Every structure is written in C-alpha cells, then in structure tokens.
C-alpha cells in the first residue's frame, strides 16, 4: 500500500476568525454555522502543474512588465523569501502570484475609484516560480496606503497580496504582506483581527543584504504553507 502523506490540522487559534466585528464585510460573508469536514483523498487534491514556459521574462519585475513610456513612479523595492511546507521543506517549482496598489494607493481595477492617480507604467501584478530551494524574488514599487470605508477615517496599511499553492490544494495560501514599522497597522482590522501571537508572521523584514546599492530597498518575507508557524491566510 502506498503511504499517503497527511496534512497537519490547522491551528485555528492562531488564525483570524471567520467573523471579526471590526472588519465589516466578514459579517456578511463569514460562515455562521459550524464548518462541515469533507473527506477527500490527497491524491485528488494534487496541485496544478505550472510550467515555466507560461511565464514571461518580466513577469516577476513589476517595475518593467507594464512600462509604456517611462519608469513607474515610487520607491523601488525587492521582495524575496523562501516558501516551505509545515515541516520546513522547500516548496520548489510552485507559482507565486502578487498584486498590489501603486505608489499612490490605487489599484488598476474598475472597482477602485479612489481619488488617486493611476500610473500608466505600473500594472501592480506579477508572478514567478520558486526555485529548487523554494525561493522567489520580485521587483516592485512600494504600495501606498488607501482609504477603504470600513470605518471612519479608515486607511489600509502598505501591503502586497500573495497567492500560492503547496503540494495540495489544501495548502493553497492567500495572504497579505505588510511592511515593518507601518504606523497604520494598529488601526487595521485585517491585521488586528489575527491573534497577537502570530501577527508578525505577516510582516516582512527589512534586509540590507537584499537591498541593492543605488537601486532598491530589500525586504524578506518567508512563507510557510501550514503548521504552527504557517503564514496567516485570508479566510
């Protein structure tokens, strides 16, 4: 008989609640009844196979992948890190996708009508594959804060959205990466809705080693897909 690996149960005490009163939209979309477990073989949940042929040479470089007539405006950054499973093993050859607002705090999306300028040379989306050691790397522009109407004078901190898969669909992670020292973090329900003991897992670390002289500041954001040290995910 083939040994089928087992996924460790999630530690729900370290993840955000499905309904958090400070985050208004969870009152409408969060489940109000107990979740029902569905038995399913891990063999039926294998992740999609992503080929590097589907990636463009600039997909990982948000400072160049949408250039039309000049450089995108804002502070250039490098974001890199290691993706691992619950046992610390690297998750190689998996697709990492990111999306974010531009330096003025505006998304390239019809639903975003925030009174801030769009940048014609910045799309705010990128993707790459992790290498054999589970590492990824993006070049981008530091996103700006923006109002979001959740409560009076509500502003989202600077953040980048991440989406990626582990070896199984049950290991899919959608999360947000924040920046160290952001003064808006204590006022943000999405961040504060996560138990205090695990909030720091969503905050990147500034790295002078990753920083490139005369070009961009560097940040490290390691991602763990499950387990006690698993990166907090969006419910």
Active site residues: 107, 146, 156, 159, 161
Token pair for 62 = 């948000």
- In whole angstroms, give the CA distance from residue 233 to residue 235: 6
Longest dimension (CA), the chain: 61
- In whole angstroms, give the CA distance from residue 221 to residue 137: 10
Q: Are 134 and 221 in contact (CB under 8 A)?
A: no
Helix (H, G, I), strand (E, B) or coil at 127: strand
Which is nearest to 206 in space by CA: 146, 155, 158, 154?
A: 158
* 105: alpha, beta or left? (left if phi > 0; alpha if psi -120 to 50): left
Q: Are 176 and 184 in contact (CB under 8 A)?
A: no
Token pair for 230 = 């698993």
- Count of beta carbons in the 10 Å neighbourhood of residue 202: 20
Task: List Cβ neighbours of 74 (8 Å cut-off, separation of 6 or more).
Answer: 102, 103, 104, 119, 122, 141, 142, 144
- Give the CA distances from residue 26 to residues 111, 135, 230, in Å, rounded to whole numbers and listed in that order: 19, 33, 22
């Amino acid at each position: 008989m083939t040994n089928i690996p087992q996924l460790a149960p999630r530690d729900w005490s370290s993840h955000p609640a499905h309904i958090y009163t400070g985050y208004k939209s969870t009152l409408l979309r969060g489940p109000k009844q107990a979740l029902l477990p569905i038995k399913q073989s891990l063999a039926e949940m294998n992740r999609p196979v992503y080929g590097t042929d589907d990636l463009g040479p600039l997909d990982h470089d948000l400072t160049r992948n949408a250039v039309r007539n000049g450089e995108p405006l804002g502070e250039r950054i490098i974001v890199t890190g290691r993706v691992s499973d619950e046992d610390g093993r690297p998750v190689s050859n998996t697709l990492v996708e990111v999306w974010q607002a531009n330096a003025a705090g505006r998304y390239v999306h019809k639903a975003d009508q925030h009174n801030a300028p769009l940048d014609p040379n910045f799309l705010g989306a990128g993707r790459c594959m992790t290498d054999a050691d589970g590492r990824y790397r993006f070049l981008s522009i530091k996103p700006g804060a923006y109002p979001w109407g959740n409560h009076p004078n509500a502003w989202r901190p600077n953040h980048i959205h991440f989406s990626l898969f582990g070896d199984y669909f049950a290991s899919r992670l959608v999360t947000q990466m924040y920046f160290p020292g952001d003064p808006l973090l204590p006022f943000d329900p999405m961040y504060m809705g996560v138990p205090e003991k695990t909030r720091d897992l969503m905050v990147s670390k500034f790295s002078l080693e990753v920083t490139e002289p005369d070009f961009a500041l560097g940040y490290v954001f390691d991602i763990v897909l499950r387990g006690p040290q698993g990166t907090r995910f969006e419910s």
